[in-house]
Amino acid sequence: MKFSNHISTGILLAAAFFIYSCKKDYGNLNSPTIEQFLANANASELNNLVSGTESGMRNNMAYYLDDIGVIGREGYRFSNAEPRYTKDLLGAVEATLNNSTFYITTPWAARYRVVKNCNTLIQAATNSTLITAAEKSGYIGFARTIKAYQLLLNINLTYKNGIRVDVANADQLGAVVTYDAGLADIASILDSADAGLATAVVTFPLAGFTGFSDAAGLAKVNRALAARVAAYRAQWAEVLTDLNGSFFDLTKDFHLGVNHVFATGSGDKLNPMFIPQNQNGEVRVAHASFATDIKTGDDRINKATLRTSTVSLDGLSSNRDVWVYTTSTAPIPIIRNEELILLYAEAKIQTNAFADAVTALDAIRQNHGLPVYSGALIQDALITELLYERRYSLYYEGHRWLDMRRYNKLAELPKDRTGDDVWESFPLPISE
Amino acid sequence: MAALLCILLCPAWLAAQDKTISGKIITSNLIPLAGVNIVVSKTNRGAISDANGNFTLQAPASAKLVITQTGYKTQAITAAVVQDGVAIKMEEDFAELDEVIVTGLATNVKRRNLANAVGTISNKELTSVAPAQTFDAALNGKISGANINANSGAPGGGISIKLRGVTSVYGNTQPLYVVDGVFVDNSATSGGLNAITSAASGGAPTSSQDNPSSRIADIRTEDIDNIEILKGASAAAIYGSKASAGVIVITTKKGRQGKTAINVSQSIGQIAVRKLLGVRKFTADKAASLSRDPAAGAILKQQFIDAESKGKIYDYEKELYGNKGFTRNTGISLSGGGEKTNFYFSAAQKDEGGIVKNTGYRNSSLRLNLDHRINDDIKIGISSNYINSSTDRGFSGNDNAGVSLGIALSSTPGFAQLHPDAMGNYPANQFGSSNPLQTIALMKNNEAVNRFITGLNVEANLQKSNSSLTRFVARGGIDFYNLATTLLFPGELQFQAVSKGTIIQGNTNNLSTNYIFSLANIFTPTGNLSFTSSTGITRETGNYNNLLNVATQKISGQSNVDQAGALNATQFRSRYQNDGIFVQEEAMVHNAISLTGGIRFDRSSNNGDVNKYYAYPKAGIAVNLTSLGFGKNGFFDNLKVRAAYGQATNVPAYGSKFTSMVVSNIDGNPGSLAGIQRGDATIKPERQSELEAGIDLSVLKGRLSFEFTAYNKKIKDFLMLASPPTSSGFSSQWVNAGDLRNRGIELGMNAKPISNKNFSWTTSLNFWLNRSLVTRYIITPVPQGSFGYVLGSFQIEQGKSATQIVGLNGAGVGVLGNAEPTFQMNTYNEFTFNNKLSLSFLLHWKKGGDNVNLTYLQNDFGQTSADFDNVTNKAGMPDGIYRISQVGSNARIFVEDASYLRLREIGLYYTFDKLSKNIFIKTIRVGASLNNYLTVTKYKSYDPEVSNFGTGFSSGVDVDPYPATKRATLHLSIDF
């Protein structure tokens, strides 16, 4: 017994020493942690956050555009694998929008993930002692602009169910605010970003901001977004002021603006909205009313091309493919001149400056092969005309459903099957 | 380390006068018994009886000889008594009370004194009835107290084993596998299928729905001697951090002293689909109804009429899943040894086709087990195994791109024309985004494994006296594998129009190591009392590195990832180190009362606090009443009451303490984006505590024995990947979220009703059930592990079963079912005629337990389900349409009872022995077997055993799996 006790004590001591000396904390082997960015980030780390933000904005955009496109009856998303596109989104029979399903949970989470990144960028830039004050303002101005844009996309979906604006502290999230308060908050985030950009120097690389990648350019983008928010708030004078600070130009290319861009590089993304023409199974096709409602000669008919065969699913069918995003690296617009022209027209109609409005509408019409506007110069008729132009100019860019909702015209959207519904808003995700 | 070397080099020597002892061992029927172990007590010296029952060894006249053989009662005889010509008669041990069970890392105890219910599976039960394709599948239906579920019928395995209910939700739910002392890795690595299927959104190349095989499938079943199943913390605690979900202790075959035995075996067989769902019978009008557009409907109608007139209506389900896979399994093994060294060697290969063309499984294995006795006191054992396996798993399961076989099939009517033209070109499938015939013909989904498992075992007697024996035991090993996954989708495939061909190559290296150093002292102050004290240290490490390259826009005909226009790489690494220290004391009084107490301290690099040791106690008591004299000469042959308690840890997954920033690039600019998973820097391990109690009894000289066990297993601080408000930027967050418990009972009966020279019948019957309850839950319940309320989902909720299935019920959200079976039963029977002809079968009944069946919904949705046009619902519309109309309002019809009664295995064998002396052959065994041939179930999809989400918490979700298979095999085995 004694002998063994000696040995066992010896082994245990040796072993205890061995174990003690080999304690291990491997750290995160796969990626940096959020804390590393907050410590004292240098310019290159902050630039990584900028690019991550711009990259992350593209995540799950297809769900957002399909949500708005399908409920707004711009088209259908047929998927043999996913019945809920033609069930829940269209309100088939007893189906309703659910708070635990991908169509709201996925895009909602993707947008807030970018908001998280923007907040991280703001905090990291604030904490950094390695950049100038002007550079700091540049990072923060960019981060706030993008954050406001991301919040706007989410409130577009949940509408009167509201959003959270104050989400900087994951342990103490701010309350869910109403639609009106949410839009007001978004407008004020844009304003504070705009103010900061005035004194900023932008040293970081951007991808989809060609022509707008300096502080002045970012401010123009910021004002363009502010104009959209003001229109949603029916603050028409504000729309016109914001447009003045933006890149709005009646004479310039309609596609002038900023985009989500796509590429085949490592860690990059392809445009998820691109589906080649005449595919079967997984398709995005136009609603029948797209072709029946369009005016003769309107070249925007090419945004939904005729298929070689009709596709059908779940009692729905179509013979036109949505053909807005025509390659796998085609950009998705964030905001562009054509929308700004239409915002200008809308604000002018709403402020009864009909002549200015018609000038803008005609710029759109003539560019798309239509004759000048010859209808009545009254608000109702002009709004109907405006909504037509918005419908076809901004087809499948995430507008139609919101526009019909803004003008209380959801009831006018066609229902294709008995028992279908046109929803007004998505529920807040269950996790909220 | 110096201390350890000293132990090896300075053993205590036993000095006594040896004499040569030879004897003969026979059965109660006076038949010579071969292969019996005769060991000189307290030494490593021993002998094995030969074919005539004879043995010879060296031992002091005063030494005790311990004579053991599985299935017979152990005897201890003084060496002096053994003389030439005196036969030692072995008594049959029907109740297997003398079976030795490993209870500690350095100690063991006989079943008659065991405090736990430990299940065992012999090689015979594993391989001698109707062998399964892989080791994991061979366990199915054989473990009382386990809920075993095959993920799919895909070649190469993939099985979920849950011992005594769910032990964790997001932590490890699967048992630890230990092969000859080596902790064997059983992770499942995705080959990147999600990049093609988009089954999980977010764009990651991998998801939990990629259906990879699990690595335990690599082990060759035929090499296994026996398996012990430690079902919970009370028995398994000694194995430490990885053992909270139970331990499956595998011992491979060892060589035995004597003439070299050679065995050659060959099987051939066929694999076929177990069940097909059938397809909808179309008519011209039904074809037209596929489209709501009249013009398109007219075209479809014409297509149908054309196809019908040319006789070109097909059953694509049969074409896809109707292949008959040929199987062959060849093995050769040699075993033998001398006085000091024994060996077992095997070389084997199996090659099996699948029910889908171009799928299959091949496994080649080499094993060498060596045992060497340096002297009477030091023994070393080395087991080494090399495995090469290659699995072509096909393409099945959930998919959001319409490309997996089942999803493509679900929307394709029989009048679609999918066959290649004379030039070999496949037409595009107008009814779906892929042509499944083309997909099968051109794609590849391969997992290739090269694996080395080597174990080392050193046992040394440090000190010996009449009343005390001190032993040192060191055990450990390494498990290294390289897994190369290759996914190839050529540009010609219909769904590769955008990607223009995709190559995904994964390369995974995994190194696991573990060791145990322990000291045990057996102190026997009097004949009626003995103490076993043991103490030791353990360590396990793991180092996993997975590199996945996704290349698109590939150059035609090429399969290297650089032969492509775009390349995306992802890498995931993980490392861990778990350390443990244990102390255990066992006492045996009157060879009847066994008491055990112990404590273990564990820490892990995966815990929030890497330095903190958590303490886990255990205790057990077993009282053998018959050994105490109760009911002597009475009814009971053996009567034991027992209770055991233990705690064990389950460490968090690697990385759960970090909030990562993941890479997300744009246009050449490198970007960092907040990860969606929020870490918890203070994360704690889960703590499981288990109390089990039971009664074992046997009557009629052990011919009939019963085992009753009840257990209560609690999991404290179970880990959840909670769903925080996603407005925080995080979609999931690791938290220690609550407590849950499992309670259950296990009843077992073993009997040998008939046993004589001409006929014997062995039977066993087991019954088990488990109920779980979430007793504390601090976060908001949200649907988990499936597809949300609309289709039926799991949800952890306080006061509810952990495996409840909830969903829309027409009036809101309610409970729709439970994945937990009501109970399970199995029975194994073996009939032997004249010791030559044997018939055995295994029957398994799972009663209750619901699945979320979405396969049928897919077919309804594609309007191709066989019963689409029947009208049996109260709404009076076609059933297919009625079922679709429930989506979005009621998920009840997707939650389906997955009960089944299955004839898992049946085999008939005949053994030729007493062959002519002129040939070398000793025996020839021929046989035929059927595996999973008969299933009685009302479940409507391919098979009630299914799991779209692989091995983990949420098994039983059914989305177009690779259909389950059945096997018929012919066997030939020759012993030389």
Task: For tokens 């920033």, name the residue.
Answer: B661
Tens-digit pLDDT profile for residues B630-670? 766 677 888 889 999 999 888 888 888 888 898 889 988 99
**What distance in Å separates residue A109's CA from the closest CA in chain B?**
5
What would the two tokens of residue A109 be? 């989470």
Pick from B368, B408, B409: nearest CA to B387: B368
What would the two tokens of residue A347 be? 């604000």
> What mean pLDDT is predicted for residues B805-833?
92
Which residues of chain A does B672 touch, with a Cβ-Cβ cutoff of 8 Å? 31-32, 37, 45, 48-49, 51-52, 117
Q: Write down the pLDDT at residue B145.
A: 86
B576 at A interface, C-beta within 8 A: yes
Strands (E), B374-401: 378-392
> What mean pLDDT is predicted for residues B334-349?
92
Q: Write down the pLDDT at residue A116.
A: 95
- Pair B939, B964: CB distance under 8 Å: no
Tens-digit pLDDT profile for residues B140-156? 888 888 888 888 888 88
**What distance in Å separates residue B712's CA from the closest CA in chain A?**
33
> What mean pLDDT is predicted for residues A62-69?
95
Which residues of chain B does A106 touch, with a Cβ-Cβ cutoff of 8 Å? 201-202
> What mean pLDDT is predicted for residues A2-24?
51
- Pair B839, B907: CB distance under 8 Å: yes
What would the two tokens of residue B850 be? 């619901």
Q: Write down the pLDDT at residue A243.
A: 96
Q: Write down the pLDDT at residue B648.
A: 87
What would the two tokens of residue A62 be? 């297809």
**What distance in Å separates residue B330's CA from the closest CA in chain A?**
42
Of B876 and A255, which is predicted with more confidence? A255
Q: Write down the pLDDT at residue A11.
A: 53
The CATH code for residues A30-205 is: 1.25.40.390
Per the prediction, chain A carries an average pLDDT of: 91
Please, where in chain A does CATH 1.25.40.390 lie? 30-205
What would the two tokens of residue A58 be? 């593209």
Q: Write down the pLDDT at residue A4.
A: 45
Q: Which residues of B98-111 are buried (b: 16+ CB within 10 A; e: fewer)?
A: bbebbbbbbbebbb
Residue A33 pairs with which residues in a beta bridge? B660
Tens-digit pLDDT profile for residues B192-240? 888 888 877 666 777 778 888 888 888 999 999 989 888 888 777 678 7
Does B553 score more than 70 pLDDT? yes
Tens-digit pLDDT profile for residues A340-370? 999 999 999 999 999 999 999 999 999 999 9
Q: Write down the pLDDT at residue B5.
A: 40
Task: With cut-offs at 50, 70 and 90, classify the pLDDT of residue B526.
Answer: confident
**Which of B 157-176 lie inside 8 A of A, CB atoms?**
none
Q: Which of B567, B573, B727 sits opposite A112 (nearest CB)?
A: B727
B884 at A interface, C-beta within 8 A: yes
**What distance in Å separates residue B256's CA from the closest CA in chain A?**
31
Give long-range contacts, CB 8 A cutoff, 24+ apart: A8-11: A8/B470, A8/B519, A8/B521, A8/B535, A10/B3, A11/B3, A11/B4, A11/B7, A11/B472, A11/B517, A11/B519
Tens-digit pLDDT profile for residues B578-594? 999 999 898 988 888 98
Strands (E), A117-156: none
Q: Write down the pLDDT at residue A154.
A: 95
Measured distance CA(B457)–CA(A342) in Å, rounded: 80
Q: Write down the pLDDT at residue B202.
A: 64
Task: For tokens 């000859």, name the residue.
Answer: B180
Report chain B's terminal Cα–Cα distance, integer Å: 45
What would the two tokens of residue B191 be? 């080959």
Pick from B540, B568, B542: nearest CA to B554: B568
Tens-digit pLDDT profile for residues B698-713? 888 878 999 999 999 9
CB B402 to CB A80 under 8 A? Answer: yes
Q: Write down the pLDDT at residue B104.
A: 60
> What mean pLDDT is predicted for residues B895-922?
88
Does A266 score more than 90 pLDDT? no
CB B400 to CB A79 under 8 A? Answer: yes
Q: Which of B679, B726, B889 sits opposite A429 (nearest CB)?
A: B726
> What mean pLDDT is predicted for residues B348-366?
94
Q: Write down the pLDDT at residue B406.
A: 92
Q: What secondary structure letter does DSSP report for B893?
A: G
Q: Write down the pLDDT at residue B376.
A: 84
A414 at B interface, C-beta within 8 A: no
Does B842 score more than 90 pLDDT? yes
What would the two tokens of residue A174 be? 């701010």
Residue B105 Cα distances to B102, B535, B583, angstroms: 7, 9, 11
- Pair B127, B221: CB distance under 8 Å: yes
CATH homologous superfamily of B120-275+337-418+441-655+689-975 equals TonB-dependent receptor, beta-barrel domain (2.40.170.20)
B421 at A interface, C-beta within 8 A: no
Q: Which residues of B36-55 are buried (b: 16+ CB within 10 A; e: fewer)?
A: bbbbbebbbbbbbbbeebbb
Does A285 score more than 90 pLDDT? yes
A191 at B interface, C-beta within 8 A: no
Task: For tokens 């123009």, name the residue.
Answer: A220
Chain A, nearest residue to B608 by Cα: A25
Does A206 score more than 70 pLDDT? yes
Q: Write down the pLDDT at residue B72.
A: 80
Measured distance CA(A163)–CA(A182) in Å, rounded: 7
Tens-digit pLDDT profile for residues A240-265? 999 999 999 999 999 999 999 998 87
Which residues of chain B does A153 touch, with a Cβ-Cβ cutoff of 8 Å? none
Q: What secondary structure letter does DSSP report for B197?
A: H
A87 at B interface, C-beta within 8 A: yes
ipTM greater than 0.90: no
Kindly report the number of other CB atoms within 10 A of residue B64's CB atom: 14
**What distance in Å separates residue A101's CA from the closest CA in chain B?**
6
Of B4 and B404, which is predicted with more confidence? B404
**Which of B 900-939 lie inside 8 A of A, CB atoms?**
none
Does B919 score more than 80 pLDDT? no
What would the two tokens of residue A97 be? 């929008």
**What distance in Å separates residue B655's CA from the closest CA in chain A?**
7
> What mean pLDDT is predicted for residues B568-572?
88
Does B299 score more than 60 pLDDT? yes
Residue B719 φ then ψ, to 5°: -85, 135
Which residues of chain B does A93 touch, with a Cβ-Cβ cutoff of 8 Å? 885, 888-889
DSSP labels for B673-711? EE-SEE--TT---EEEEEEEEEEEEEETTTTEEEEEEEE
> What mean pLDDT is predicted for residues B338-355?
93
Pick from B259, B321, B290: nearest CA to B855: B321
Q: Write down the pLDDT at residue B633.
A: 67
Measured distance CA(A304)–CA(A376) in Å, rounded: 29
Does B685 score more than 80 pLDDT? yes
The CATH code for residues B18-92 is: 2.60.40.4130
Alpha-carbon Rg for chain A in angstroms: 26
Q: Write down the pLDDT at residue A1.
A: 39
Task: For tokens 């077997």, name the residue.
Answer: B929
> What mean pLDDT is predicted for residues A17-39?
76
- Pair A401, A423: CB distance under 8 Å: no
Does A2 score more than 50 pLDDT? no
Kindly report the number of other CB atoms within 10 A of residue B29's CB atom: 11
CB A266 to CB B569 under 8 A? Answer: yes
Tens-digit pLDDT profile for residues B155-202? 887 888 888 888 888 777 888 999 998 999 888 888 888 888 887 766
pLDDT above 70 covers a percentage of chain B that reads 96
CB pairs under 8 A between A and B: 362
Of B128 and B43, which is predicted with more confidence? B128
User: What's the whole-model pTM score?
Assistant: 0.84
Q: Write down the pLDDT at residue B203.
A: 67
B799 at A interface, C-beta within 8 A: no
Measured distance CA(B90)–CA(A63) in Å, rounded: 74
CB A116 to CB B661 under 8 A? Answer: no
Does B733 score more than 70 pLDDT? yes
Q: Write down the pLDDT at residue A381.
A: 95
Q: Write down the pLDDT at residue B326.
A: 95
